[in-house]
Structure 1
Amino acid sequence: MLKRTIQRVKMAKGDLKKPKGKMSAYAFFVQTCREEHKKKNPEVPVNFAEFSKKCSERWKTTSSKEKGKFDEMAKADKVRYDREMKDYGPAKGGKKKKDPNAPKRPPSGFFLFCSEFRPNIKSTNPGISIGDVAKKLGEMWNNLSDGEKQPYNNKAAKLKEKYEKLKM
């Protein structure tokens, strides 16, 4: 058990303080099968692919009454996980809540260009798909010289300055 925990810590890419994930009823069933296998055959190493197939077949034939025992274990583990996550801090996904009053990020020079030319493309090509409009806009933008892109990039820079001031 300790060896597995150390391996988990070494392999963990994210936060080491984050609670261990919740286990499903099937995961508890497989864990029980593995313990039974180890008691019966302590010296024999487990072939994971073979073992998984046998567990899967056994799970399918297990009665709903016996599965209920594992369902209860999973429910208890979910309660543990939810309690630990509440104490842990970050919400699921680890994302911070966005301030609804925060200013909207400014568009780039390319997006300013697109907003100017999108109506022209749509009017000259009725029924064109959104993806095709985007392709045409991308081609047009790539064919512009740096001098022709400059007014859009300058406007984007001004909008970014304004945004940075509002953000403070």
Structure 2
Amino acid sequence: MNSPCILIPVGVGLVCAVLGYLLGKILSSGKDNLSALQLELDNCRAKSSKLEAELATLKAKSSSFVAPQAVNSGLIGAYVPFDADLASSDFGKKVKENDLKVIEGIGPKIEELFNANGILTWEVLSETSVNRCQEILDMAGEQFVVHDPKTWPHQSKLAFEGKWKKLKDWQNVHIGGKK
């Protein structure tokens, strides 16, 4: 038997085995890299959610603090720190700070919608345009079509400024929160 004839198929076999091994290594390392990237993305998403929740909490807490220079410079109206007893006596019912349901026309479901869209305080609602309020209602579906947010920023401003008697009188005159 001729030995060079046997060496050629054996040599080709060895070269194919080495190439197959290397190709397998390269392709499998890509899958490991993809898994690592997916894990990193999941961690980033979890951290982002945690930071968003923390930011919402800080925004809610910071709404009760107004820098004196902001009041003195006229950037903010006559801000009065929230006084639950005064609010309850003037408004005629128990009032919790930044409870959007105090606003005529806003109930629990609309409060949830607004909170989910970053409107957590009377101050923020008072600075929100009527168009933005309407957009939030429109995005939520047909069950919110009947609601009219035209007066909500004004009512929120009264609540934020601690003008409870004025808010109650306004709501008594404007039945259903409509002008």
Scaled by the length of structure 1, the TM-score of the pair is 0.23
Output the TM-score relative to the length of structure 2: 0.22
Structure of greater relative contact order (alpha carbons < 8 Å, 6+ residues apart): 1
Larger Rg: 2
